Amino acid sequence: MKINPDELKAKLPLPATEKWVEGIWDIEAFAHGTMSVIYFAPRGKDYQTAHEQDEIYVIIAGSANFNLNGERMECETGDVLFVPAGVEHRFETFTDDFATWAIFYGRKGGEQKERELE
């Protein structure tokens, strides 16, 4: 399977909601089993909250300041970020061309929780 970010970008934004007042700036590109691949190109403000699954971001355009549970870091094209399930995070500032793949995978609660059960 091949996924083209430009084709997904052309479909955004999706209609605004009460939470995402500037419109929804993410779209699912692919899903298989527990994994889903999302194209995410926030505009305005990133309203996301903690997720039930582990998550990997692969930055594909632009740069941003990322807040991972209070730890702030800069990220740019080519960087990979890991966010464990249940951890608060968001992109606080980002360039106009910022875009990332967000890859969710594994069981609810994350793989660390799975290891704790073994």
- CATH assignment at residue 96: 2.60.120.10
Domain containing 67: what range?
A: 5-117
Q: Which two tokens stand for residue 18?
A: 């009460």
Q: Say which DSSP state 1 is in.
A: -
Q: pLDDT 10s digit of each residue in the chain, 118 long?
A: 899 999 999 999 999 999 888 899 999 999 999 999 999 999 989 999 999 999 999 999 999 999 999 999 999 999 999 999 999 999 999 999 999 999 999 999 998 865 555 5
Looking at this protein, which amino acid is placed at residue 51? Answer: H
pTM (2 decimals)? 0.91
Q: How far is Cα 39 from Cα 19, in angstroms, rounded to an integer?
A: 19
- In the chain, how many domains are there? 1
Q: How far is Cα 74 from Cα 29, in angstroms, rounded to an integer?
A: 25
